[in-house]
Structure 1
Amino acid sequence: MPPLRAVVIGGTSGIGHAMACRLASTSPSSSIIISGRTCPSPLPHPDIISFLPLDATSMRSIKSYTTSLAQTQFASSKIDILIMSQGIMSTAPRTETPEGIDRKMALHYYGKQLLIRELLPLLTASARVVTVYDGWLGSPDKLLWDDLDLKRAGNYGLAKTADHCVSMTDGMVQYWATRGQAQAGEDPAGRKRHFVHAYPGGVNTNLLREVLPGYLQGAVKAVGKVVLTSPETCAERLLEGVEVRSEEGEGEGRYWSNIDNKGRTIKGKAVWTEEQMERVARHTWEMVDAALAVGE
């Protein structure tokens, strides 16, 4: 594999960490930045992977982060693959950040869209942009269109929050598939950017154990090794699927894909209308830009 320049948000643990390590091991001349709250110790592949801290629940932190990233080596040699796998497993009720966005929705949805928006100028013309979340269950039919951020009393809940974050991600993947080409320029091989929403399936990470009482964690860990996929296997399947499906989609004139935990195309995904994509995008930028303005 030729050298890659990659940024992996959520790359300090779990699936993101495994994807960063997979890229490093299969392309040893690559340059990879992983980001999250804390640097893993030890830092894997330290000759290839570097760490840049990020609080991915804060829009202002994301804005500062993308500005800093533009001053790294990616200012001159652009990003080939952007992976966003940040997430939390939480049963907490709605909890707003100081910027006025629910913490879970900020991490799972709004922050990822801001990252894409701000990093578009740093992406190569044939970059792969991968959101690891749930490319399976999203649909425009699951949205409360008059309350997309679920602030109205009675609308917020674990299931509905997941519906909205997953579904709006689907819509924005298709949105970026057309809008994201505008700044791309020409790729020497004629390839174009591709935007992917990936479903990882059941993966043996620490997310579930974070919300369980201590006396159950040993059992969950043991069972997880048997019934769940390892992060390393998940990473291998998703990365292969991203590349194969991107090339496949390009041959069809389609620059977005939803893939499953084996890297296969998820069939039957809704193609969003122009109006639906615009409504979600308009809402997203209103929320993000209002958060960025807090404290100014």
Structure 2
Amino acid sequence: MTIRSLVVGGTSGIGYAMACRVAASTAATDTVLISGRTKPADLPHANMEFRPLDASSMRQIKHYTDALKSASPPPKLDLLIMTQGIMTTAPRTEVPGEGIDRKMAIHYYGKQLLIRELLPVLSESARVVIVYDGKLGSPSKLLWEDLDLKTHFTLVRAADHCISMMDAMVQWWAGATASRLGGRPHFVHAFPGTVNTNLLREVVPSYLQGVVRGLGNVFLTAPETCAQRLLDGAERCAVEGAEEGRFWSNIDSKGGLYRNKAVWSEEQLARVSEHTWKLVDATLPAEG
């Protein structure tokens, strides 16, 4: 079978729900590959496959993508979904030997490396969907002299930087793929809203787990509902965007397009992309 869809972070929560929905609507001969730290207890569809990936390590991501591209038959991705995330109150904690804060590596830098390395196997009309926060990013939230927050790290700033730089790179990727013949991928930054996943429970004391679970079932969106809204919205915005000559979208928790999102300047896009690749490439072994 040929791998047509990849969901990184697809082992639980929103990502798992999206992977299951994609698998249910995909031809039996097309594989939906899910990757993350731990294999799910259940892969409910025969065309689902799991491969482990530590998405906090740039070196592990590079090893993973190299192996994926060398497979026979090679993948031809129509859909690349990235939902990997972490909820923690830990201070800046660098990935060993790589010099990038683990939270920022998972939420931002690793996703950019995945896109770059998998770009050769994306189909001409692929959808790249990043589930993080397509709502709150802005150029005004960046400390431009310290984009990776080596010296100005706080949890709030880390979130602001990852969200905002993601906005920038979604627009940068849409421009960077403009010369592809036959079509162009569409890049989506999605805001999931408040979803009933396990992320919050990772920072809640054990004696409150039952309360959190009960409140979540009442007040939060089910992952399956979120998955349907985001997948439908991403496809709708991609079709409409192509008609408008726009190959990036920021979408809300119902799958609707944020039409008031700022368009980043060429200078701003250049600064964010140059910073990103300089930092990421410094972690990778030199190619001989």
TM-score (norm 1): 0.93
**Which blocks of at least 5 consecutive residues in structure 1 are unaligned?**
none
What's the secondary structure of 1:65's corresponding residue?
helix
Structure 1 residue 282 and structure 2 residue 274: aligned?
A: yes
- Match for residue 86 of structure 1 among 73, 84, 87: 84
Alignment of 1:1-296 (within 5 A): 5-29=4-28, 30-45=30-45, 47-72=46-71, 75=74, 77-98=75-96, 99-152=98-151, 155-182=152-179, 184-187=180-183, 192-293=184-285
Q: For 1:270 and 1:73, locate their aligned partners in 2 and report how far apart those are by CA, in whole Å.
A: 42
How far the C-alpha of 1:218 sits from its partner, in A, is: 0.4
What's the secondary structure of 1:88's corresponding residue?
coil
Q: Are the equivalent residues in 1 in contact too, given 2:53–2:61 (CA < 8 A)?
A: yes
The AA in structure 2 aligned to 1:58 is: S
Q: For 1:41 and 1:246, locate their aligned partners in 2 and report how far apart those are by CA, in whole Å.
A: 33
How far the C-alpha of 1:210 sits from its partner, in A, is: 0.6
After superposition, what is the alpha-carbon deviation per residue over 1:125-154, rounded to whole angstroms, capped at 9, x for unaligned? 0000011000000001100000000011xx
The AA in structure 1 aligned to 2:53 is: L
Q: For 2:50 and 2:219, locate their aligned partners in 1 and report how far apart those are by CA, in whole Å.
A: 32
Change (3 A) 1:288 1:74: farther
Change (3 A) 1:101 1:42: same
Q: Are the equivalent residues in 1 in contact too, given 2:3–2:76 (CA < 8 A)?
A: no
Q: For 1:10 and 1:119, locate their aligned partners in 2 and report how far apart those are by CA, in whole Å.
A: 16
What's the secondary structure of 2:284's corresponding residue?
helix
TM-score (norm 2): 0.95
Q: Are the equivalent residues in 2 in contact too, given 1:130–1:197 (CA < 8 A)?
A: yes
Percent of aligned pairs with the same amino acid: 62
Q: Are the equivalent residues in 2 in contact too, given 1:74–1:122 (CA < 8 A)?
A: no
The AA in structure 2 aligned to 1:40 is: P
How far the C-alpha of 1:158 sits from its partner, in A, is: 1.2
How far the C-alpha of 1:40 sits from its partner, in A, is: 1.0
Q: Are the equivalent residues in 2 in contact too, given 1:4–1:80 (CA < 8 A)?
A: no
Q: Are the equivalent residues in 1 in contact too, given 2:3–2:33 (CA < 8 A)?
A: no
Q: For 1:284 and 1:92, locate their aligned partners in 2 and report how far apart those are by CA, in whole Å.
A: 23
How far the C-alpha of 1:74 sits from its partner, in A, is: 5.7
4+ residue runs over 6 A deviation: none
The AA in structure 2 aligned to 1:79 is: L
After superposition, what is the alpha-carbon deviation per residue over 1:11-70, rounded to whole angstroms, capped at 9, x for unaligned? 01111100000001122423110000121122231x211111110000000000001111
Q: For 1:128 and 1:142, locate their aligned partners in 2 and report how far apart those are by CA, in whole Å.
A: 27
Q: For 1:156 and 1:173, locate their aligned partners in 2 and report how far apart those are by CA, in whole Å.
A: 24
Q: For 1:293 and 1:106, locate their aligned partners in 2 and report how far apart those are by CA, in whole Å.
A: 17
Number of corresponding residues: 284
What's the secondary structure of 2:34's corresponding residue?
strand
Q: For 1:66 and 1:181, locate their aligned partners in 2 and report how far apart those are by CA, in whole Å.
A: 23
Q: Are the equivalent residues in 2 in contact too, given 1:200–1:260 (CA < 8 A)?
A: yes
RMSD of aligned Cα (Å): 1.6
Q: Are the equivalent residues in 2 in contact too, given 1:197–1:259 (CA < 8 A)?
A: yes
What's the secondary structure of 1:241's corresponding residue?
helix
What's the secondary structure of 1:146's corresponding residue?
helix
Q: Are the equivalent residues in 2 in contact too, given 1:135–1:260 (CA < 8 A)?
A: yes
How far the C-alpha of 1:180 sits from its partner, in A, is: 2.3
Q: For 1:95 and 1:74, locate their aligned partners in 2 and report how far apart those are by CA, in whole Å.
A: 38
Q: For 1:136 and 1:195, locate their aligned partners in 2 and report how far apart those are by CA, in whole Å.
A: 15
